[in-house]
Structure 1
């Protein structure tokens, strides 16, 4: 099985996630950029994810004698150096040929772990063979139309268990495909719809184009038979459409209970925005929930993830781990999420920016940037430890400041 070990550099790079975003925009064709950076329909929810963080300011106390040097924590039973996981993002091989394998290696170098998507451009086994730790697995519970309701899901669960994955994240907010109009307008699909203009756009980025043609890292390698891959993307996708149902509106809580019964490790439910849903998942044995609206890529006009977080953390926090994804671009965003009850966060677009701009080294550096920003913010706030962060450190933006005396 071919496995690479991408050599990571210690050279300095961009200063911020936004700097990496600007470089990533120049590095990939328009159709790939639409997939990485855009959301569903009017992108109202995607924008709301970012705006939610701006509604909070951080309290600062001086002369506390504290420096935030230790950000280590434990998520899903794994010790990590910072409360950040790499979120599952399918088809990462389109951003950079090293894809999910390069991202997982980068996560390890940054002291954390990756959640590997079912729709990855490297197989579960390739990623496990090319990494040193037991990463996490994200499940889309797709169905094989030629067999029973759970056969394909069960087979994938057994594969990742055998490969050494340490936990499973079940994505439940995709009963049907989100209406990603920006992707459709730019021909992004499985496979992409190529026109002379789009081919030229890719050719104007020769480094990306050469790597894409050489490595051909397409999505859904975990579902496509190697023989079908050899026949090309179009042949493989025809087979997929005949054999698999990828979006399953019929899935229900009984299916989730079945997954809990058949998975021995940590189990998380991803895509929860409602406290009652979080409560039900924990009651069925979920070890944690990921408060998420799929980065604004599914239901447009859904509530911002950060706005949904406090009610869910109040309901199940302490009994289950609570993670958040959506809209994170700064270390201060992560601090605010932890203050509102999150045990950790998942980042998707930020590490894809790093990957597209500079390969695995860029993805690693993005995590290091966020880690550094967190340390700096907490030290300036006067907070020494992650456990000390709570809602008392937040002030609503624009709230009047009381004037005492004259």
Structure 2
């Protein structure tokens, strides 16, 4: 039988330890976010629909981004046992320099429209975390201001080839002069993708007020106060704006971009050059054979060609074909530190996160970006410890199996009609 007794008041008091309240509302909501998905929920609540959907959305039916995320979920880890990893080293070397974590911040356009701190928050958080920050050609903070924010860290610049080539050349020279060490030559945007959420929302640069946007803004006054009381948006490349994002891209980009343009830019750039937007094994091999410093397997976050190849699914074959010593970077669909660990295990040198950082930005500005990085770091460290590895170099294909959900169907062979001889015809 259980022996019962009158509760001791002292014991009760020991059980009733109340948590000290957090009076800072921003810190309170960010501390409550345990995953990137939690940050996304906060971001959606705090950001007007048009700006949130620009970040969250993708092209057409948004199949590419959904498939990319599903591919990361469709993996199986194989932990080693009796291989203690009480502490882990998440640092790595990429493109001639260090990174404290196996991911950097991807280039994103129009970032200050999502939250007014924009690229300054991203570059500052990257500097604090010891990881690279990538500025987009369509960024809303200048090359020089990003450098001022992150003067001692690693800054990378993502370049679009514009119809007016002199714009692209000028940006290349400015990034080099500002000490950016790597150029991401982007090849997957000859025209803008059909981003249907933006069209349905009437999302434009600058934002256009409609009855719908005003109604949507009523419960989010802080966003409009920030937008209207901070400096006017400045773009890294566009001197004039007006229209939807797709219209701006179509007006600025050039569908005639070719290997000749790559050679011109390569001759101008003194640092490392990486080709972003590679989506086939054939192109990966050709580029590595040409001697570029690296490639990024990416379908632009699903924002260009819908139903495009899944970068994470391409990774093992690309690594087999181009060699383990080639710099192969992966982006698109990363929402968890485990996604990053799986990518490194299958041969990626490095990864990039875009939306994950932007959800943090929209949720809480610079502090939100810090929180996004902290969440990913924690997930990376925990996954490595559970796998029984102490360094990224210990990760290998033995730790990950890609489970099959989408499988290519063999192309049918068309039967040829039998030839009929002249004599038979006669």
TM over 0.5, shorter chain: yes
Alignment map for 1:357-376 (pairs within 5 Å): 357-376=363-382
Does 2:42 match 1:23? yes
Determine helix, strand or coil for the equivalent of 1:215.
coil
Determine helix, strand or coil for the equivalent of 2:198.
helix
Deviates more, 1:348-357 or 1:315-324: 315-324
The two structures have a TM-score, normalised by structure 2, of 0.83
Gaps spanning 5+ residues in structure 2: where?
1-25, 406-426
Determine helix, strand or coil for the equivalent of 2:229.
helix
Deviation at 1:320, TM superposition (A): 2.5
Q: Give CA-to-partner distance per residue, 1:42-100, whole Å, 9 cap, x none.
A: 11111000011122110012211223421111122221110111000001101110101
Distance 2:142 2:111 in 1: 12
Does 2:253 match 1:247? yes
The answer as to whether partners of 2:142 and 2:234 remain within 8 angstroms in 1 is: no
Name the structure 2 match of 1:147: none
Q: Higher Cα Rg: structure 1 or 2?
A: 2
Deviation at 1:193, TM superposition (A): 3.7
Q: Which among 265, 269, 273 is matched to residue 275 of structure 2? A: 269
Name the structure 1 match of 2:333: 327
Name the structure 1 match of 2:238: 223
Deviation at 1:152, TM superposition (A): 2.0
Does 2:166 match 1:160? no
Change beyond 3 A, Cα 1:397–1:154: closer
The answer as to whether partners of 2:122 and 2:369 remain within 8 angstroms in 1 is: yes
Alignment map for 1:57-136 (pairs within 5 Å): 57-132=76-151, 133-136=153-156
Determine helix, strand or coil for the equivalent of 2:107.
coil
Change beyond 3 A, Cα 1:194–1:317: farther
Alignment map for 1:168-317 (pairs within 5 Å): 168-215=183-230, 217-218=232-233, 220-224=235-239, 234=242, 245-317=251-323
The answer as to whether partners of 1:30 and 1:201 remain within 8 angstroms in 2 is: yes
Deviates more, 1:389-398 or 1:26-35: 389-398
Deviation at 1:200, TM superposition (A): 2.6
Distance 1:337 1:266 in 2: 22
Change beyond 3 A, Cα 1:217–1:280: farther
Q: Give CA-to-partner distance per residue, 1:14-60, whole Å, 9 cap, x none.
A: 11111100000011111011101011111111100001112211001
The answer as to whether partners of 1:121 and 1:217 remain within 8 angstroms in 2 is: no
Q: Give CA-to-partner distance per residue, 1:129-183, whole Å, 9 cap, x none.
A: 2222241001011132xxxxx3222111111111111111111100111001111
Determine helix, strand or coil for the equivalent of 2:284.
helix
Name the structure 1 match of 2:74: 55
The two structures have a TM-score, normalised by structure 1, of 0.87
Change beyond 3 A, Cα 1:291–1:159: same
Gaps spanning 5+ residues in structure 1: where?
1-7, 145-149, 400-406
Name the structure 1 match of 2:384: 378
Does 2:38 match 1:38? no
Change beyond 3 A, Cα 1:337–1:255: same
